[in-house]
Amino acid sequence: MVNASSAKPRSVTCPQCGGGIDIRAAGVTISVGCQYCGALLDVANPDVALITAWHQEVAKLKLPLGSRGVIDGVTWEVIGWVERSAQGWTWAEYLLFNPYAGYRWLVRSGDEWQFGRMLTERPRELLNAGQVDWRGQAFTAEEGPVTITTTRVLGEFYWRVRAGEEWQAVSFSAGPQSLSREADGDEVQWTHLVPVAPQVIERFVKPVNFNASSPRHANPSAPPPQRGYSSDTSSTWANRPWRADGDHWRMFAFAVLTSLLAMIVLALAGIKGNEAVGRTQLVVDGPEVQFSAGTITVTRPRQFVTIRAATDTFVNKWVDLDYVLVNKATQQGVPASDVVEYYEGTDSDGHWTEGSHQTTTLIAEVPAGNYELMVQAQAHAWNGGGSSTTSSDTPADPWGLASAGGASAGTGEQVSLAVSASTGGFPWGLFWLVVGGVFVIPIIIILYRANNKDDE
Partner 1 sequence: MPYAVCPYCRGVIRWSSAGAESVGQAAELPFDVSPIQIGTGGALDGARFSVVGRVRWAWADGGWNEWLLAMADGTHRWLAEAMGQFQILEECPQADTAPELAGFAAGGELPLGTLVTLNGLYFVVSDSKIITCVGAEGDLPFATPAGWKMHSVDFREGEGRSLSVQRDEGGMAAYLGRYVELADLNPTNLRAIEGWDIPEALRGSVRAGGRA
Interacting residue ranges for partner 1, rule: CB under 8 A? 1-10, 24-28, 30, 44, 46, 73-75, 97-103, 118, 120-122, 124, 158-160, 186-187
For the purposes of burial, counting CB atoms within 10 Å of the CB of 186, is it exposed (0-12), middle (13-18) or buried (19 or more)? Answer: exposed
Distance CA 148, CA 91 (A): 10
- Three-class SS state of 39: coil
Residue 410 beta carbon to partner 1: minimum distance, rounded to whole angstroms: 39
Closest alpha carbon to 269 in 229, 324, 329: 229
For 327, other C-beta atoms within 10 Å of its C-beta total: 19
Helix or strand run (H / E) with residue 431: helix 428-455
The nearer residue to partner 1, 99 or 224, going by C-beta atoms, is 99
The nearer residue to partner 1, 78 or 374, going by C-beta atoms, is 78
Residue 195 beta carbon to partner 1: minimum distance, rounded to whole angstroms: 22
The nearer residue to partner 1, 69 or 424, going by C-beta atoms, is 69
- Work out the widest C-alpha separation in the chain, in whole angstroms: 105
Phi, psi of 234 (to 5 degrees): -65, -35
Residue 161 beta carbon to partner 1: minimum distance, rounded to whole angstroms: 10
Residue 66 beta carbon to partner 1: minimum distance, rounded to whole angstroms: 10
The nearer residue to partner 1, 6 or 451, going by C-beta atoms, is 6
Distance CA 440, CA 39 (A): 41
Residue 10 beta carbon to partner 1: minimum distance, rounded to whole angstroms: 6
Residue 102 beta carbon to partner 1: minimum distance, rounded to whole angstroms: 3
Q: What is the CA radius of gyration of the chain?
A: 28
Distance CA 8, CA 409 (A): 41
Residue 72 beta carbon to partner 1: minimum distance, rounded to whole angstroms: 10
| DSSP secondary structure of 350-393 | EEEEEE-SEEEEEEEEEEEEEEEEEEEEEEEE-TTT-TT----S
The nearer residue to partner 1, 129 or 208, going by C-beta atoms, is 208
The nearer residue to partner 1, 204 or 254, going by C-beta atoms, is 204
The nearer residue to partner 1, 1 or 129, going by C-beta atoms, is 1
| DSSP secondary structure of 224-283 | -TT--SSHHHHHHHHTS-TT-TT-HHHHHHHHHHHHHHHHHHHHHHT----EEEEEEEEE
The nearer residue to partner 1, 103 or 431, going by C-beta atoms, is 103
The nearer residue to partner 1, 73 or 88, going by C-beta atoms, is 73
DSSP state of 285: T
Residue 238 beta carbon to partner 1: minimum distance, rounded to whole angstroms: 42
For the purposes of burial, counting CB atoms within 10 Å of the CB of 267, is it exposed (0-12), middle (13-18) or buried (19 or more)? Answer: middle
Residue 4 beta carbon to partner 1: minimum distance, rounded to whole angstroms: 4
